[in-house]
Structure 1
Amino acid sequence: MPSLISPPPSVERKAFGPLSAQPQKRRIIIFSDFDGTISLQDTGHILFDAHGCGPTRRSALDDQIRSGERTFKDASEEMYASLDVPFDDGFELMASRLDLDPGFKTFHTFCLAHSIPFHVISAGLKPVLRRVLDECLGEEESSRINIVANDAEITRDGKEWKPIWRHVGTETGHDKVRSIREEVDGDGRKGEGEGEGEGEGEGVPLIVFIGDGVSDLPAAREADVLFARKGLRLEGYCVEHGIKYLPFGSFGDIQSKLEGIMDEDEERTRGRGNPVRFNPRANMWRRASSRKAVPRYVVMSPSREEKMFLWPDTFTELRGDGMAATSMGKAVV
């Protein structure tokens, strides 16, 4: 990642604070997938296999999703439409077959002790996930976890399960990237105070994402630190494509590594070095005041590929002469 070129003093010092300002310790915000990450089984699979389309049809639909033959939202609607079980009865089955990660409860307590916001971000149904957490953690502790997922309408007799998609116009029904940005922005507004808002301090939180599958990748790209469950598809994809990640076998591993990251950030606050394990791209979009108005320092520093990654509406393609073409027809080195 090329280093930033020092900007002109009069304009850029106003925008980004004094160059001599001491970096502040960043807030940490955690986002985690649920099925296969917090729970070791998939809540939907348990329901569909026992009270819906059955394992054979469900497996065929999963294959169609992976091949691109059908969208996740389209195939999921068929699976949910096949359910014929009252909510409470369906949950009883899940309770008998579902296991949470053995280190999750302790990790949740750790997050509370350190005032670290923890968000579940899932393509599943919020009522199901909330009920699981209520039963496993207790309603009071469960209420401290924000669940960002699709809602649902379920008839009393259980003959109709209808997902209410968060983002209807998307192929997945839930744009996790959009949800993460909305939650980060909301959390930032809650924490605003003196000396916050821009630069390296409280206005630029350190985002952690925890997942297990390739479907988590779009959301994972928004994170500074990515944890991938060992031996599953997300880890394999990261290895194959050279994506930086931290492997975990349980949430106990995550807690231990997160404590190390917090220590690194503390050292950075004291001016004793910079953390090396973070994803620089994630930080860059959070530093910018607008994804539509490209800051001048961006023009001077990132690679052409990164400009297109971060500002696709502005940097749309690479020209034959090796320059990045903008949507307004101007070329930027």
Structure 2
Amino acid sequence: MLNLPPLLASRLGSSQFANLHTFQVAARHLSFALAAEELCLTPSAVSHRIARLEQALSLRLFERLTRRIRLTADGERIYTILRDTVAALDDALRPRGAGVAGAVVLYAHPSIASDWLVPRLADFHQRYPEIALDLRVGNERLDFRSHSIDLALLYARDEYPGLVNERLMDEALTPVCSPRYAKDFGLFEDPRNLRHCTLLHDALAWEHAAFDAEWRAWARLHGLETDLPSRRMTFDRSDLCARAAANHVGVAMGRLRLVARYLEAGSLVAPFGDFSEAGDCAYWLVYPPGQALSAQASAMREWLRLNVPEDR
């Protein structure tokens, strides 16, 4: 039988190990129903196991709300310890010399995933063939615990409070369009001809951004606010704006990291020249504080750092 520390042994017998595991799964999902599905139990059985554990520990681990559950302060503390201990055991039990293996869940904003991350993933897979990457994209702000996310790659103006924030890359902006569109509207000759164009907006550029936030920031920097037209199309992804621009729909606000390959291929041009840091935005690697990253999440983090251009 496993020898437990005296204080823990006084509260828990070996029969409670299954209940600890049930608690860990329920805390990760913040749902008895999802925990029951993963553990092949009924939600009622999960609830009973948690209740027995709470009784044994003389602690309240969850707050039972109307349609959801929430960890108490004691529950948060114990869940963090359990999660980190299991991760450390997994690393310790991996055979020496074995490659990093396991699953890692990376959440990313759609545009950086589509136009920067995905074209580089062959290198990641070659370096870490045993890591199963689960890439999820979206624009909503996620609760890491309830969505089982390890890392997030996000485009933002500021750090995310309450999380670890690593600024991976700065971003620079300039309008882009197809060569034909630039010629038809005389954009090479005079930036004020923008007033005759259709602007393409990423309406969800960053959290709480106005639909035209990037365009307004760039126009203020270049003294062209009065020349912005009202004709527009809005998208919820910057990469869709760029693709629409390449197909002669209008002028998009191009992000250097995302449109560089279009510019190199000649399907987009930057009629007004250099990129500028008008929006003061950057790409951030974000993850929860106070916990040890798994070996595979650490590998993804280091690989992302290695792929950052020298100019950041």
TM-score norm. by structure 2 comes to 0.22
Tell me: higher relative CO, structure 1 or 2? Use CA pairs within 8 A at least 6 residues apart.
2
Give 1 or 2 for the bigger CA radius of gyration.
2
TM-score norm. by structure 1 comes to 0.21
